[in-house]
Amino acid sequence: MNWGIIGHEWAVEYLQRSITGGRTAHAYLITGPAGIGKALLALRMAQVFNCEQQGDAPCLQCRACRRIASGNHPDVRLAGMETQAAGVKASDAARQKDLKIDTVRAWQRDIALKPYEGRCRVFILHDAERLNEEASNAMLKTLEEPPPFAMLILVANNTNLLATIVSRCQVIRLRPLPRDHVAQALIAHAGVEPERAALLAAWSNGRIGWALHAATSPDEILTRQEQLDTLLALHTQPHSSSFRWAEDRSKEYRGGEQTLVLEWLDLWQSWWRDLLLIAAGCPDGITHIDRREDLEREARRYKLQEIYRFVVRLDEAARRLRENVNPQLALENLLLHLPRRTG
C-alpha cells in the first residue's frame, strides 16, 4: 500500500498516474524539510522504474527492489554531501559547504551508459540545494539533454537552486503530515506509547522520517531536552555567561558543525514560536506540549510584540549564519536583543 510510504499519498498517486499514462519525466526534484521522507520517496521511484513486476508500484520483494533497497543495484547511483565527503579527512569533510563540479562530473560519465540489468539508470542527487554555480551549470547540461535510459532525481531541502534547473524538473514538494497522522504512525509502526507518540509528533513538525528516527533514539531526545534547558537558562543569565554559550556555538560553527548550530537556533525558535502562539491565544498548535505550563507562565512575562520581534530575529540570525557572517557576532547580537521579562 502507498509504496510502503507513510503519508504523501498524493505524491504516490501522481507518480502512479504518470507511470500508467506513460508520462514519466526524465528529471524530478523532490523538496521538503529534512526528515520529511524525501530520500525514501526517491528510493521507491528508483525501485518502481526497475521493479521486475513492471507495475505502477514497486513490489518491494523482487531481486531488483531488494538490491536497490540495500544500495547494491548497478543502475541506481546516489550522490550528495555524504558521498562527496567519503574518502576525505573528517575535519575537511565537515568544512565542505557545497556540492562540487567533480561530484556531478563523476556520475555524468556514468549516466550515458545503457542500464546493466534494470530498465532505467536512476541517479539520485541529495542536498541539491548545495550545488555550487559550476556544478549547477554542469548539471544543467545533463538536464537539457538527458540520456535516453536515465532518470535524475534531485533531492533538496529547499528550492534555492538555479531557476533553470528547477524549470527542467518535475517538482514534487513534500509537505509536513498532520500531527495526529504522525502520532498514529508512530503507534502503529514503531510501537510507541500514545503519550510519547503525541510528544514526538508535536516536535516533528510533521516530519515523519524525523519522528520515526527519534522514536528509536532516546539519547537524541535527552540531548534535545538538555539543549532546551540551556537555551531557557540564557533568558535569565548575565551576559558574561550567556556569551560563553555564543562562543562555544561559534567554535562549533567554525569547526564545520554548521548544522548543529542551526539546530540550536531552530529549537530556540520553536520555543519562542510557542510563546507567540500562546500570547496570541492559539495554544493548540504549540510544539513543546510537555512544557505547556512553563510556556503559559513565560508568555505572560513578555509583550506580544517583543515575542514576535525575537522570533523574527532568530530567523534573521539563522539566515545570516548561512550567509557566512561572523557566527559569534550573530549569536551575541541575538543575546543582546533577548526581550526583557516584565514581572
The binding site for Zn ion (CB under 5 A) comprises 51, 59, 62, 65
Q: How far is the CB of 119 from Zn ion (least distance, A)?
A: 12
Decide the pairing of beta strands 76-79 and 27-31. unpaired
Q: At its nearest, how many Å lie between Zn ion and the CB of residue 64?
A: 5
Q: Measured from the CB atom, is 66 or 213 closer to Zn ion?
A: 66
Distance in angstroms between the alpha carbons of the first and the last residue of the chain: 55
Least separation in angstroms between CB 76 and Zn ion: 13
Question: What minimum distance in Å lies between the beta carbon of 14 and Zn ion?
Answer: 20
* Long-range contacts (CB closer than 8 Å, 24 or more residues apart) made by 324-330: 326/250, 327/249, 327/250, 327/253, 327/254, 327/261, 328/246, 328/247, 328/250
Q: Is the CB of 67 or the CB of 168 nearer to Zn ion?
A: 67
Smallest distance, Zn ion to C-beta of residue 248, A: 49
67 or 207, CB closer to Zn ion? 67
Residue with grid cell 555524468, as numbered in its chain: 108
**Closer residue to Zn ion, CB minimum distance, 59 or 94:** 59
Q: How far apart are the C-alpha atoms of 90 and 84, rounded to whole Å?
A: 12
Q: Which is nearer to Zn ion, 59 or 335 (CB)?
A: 59
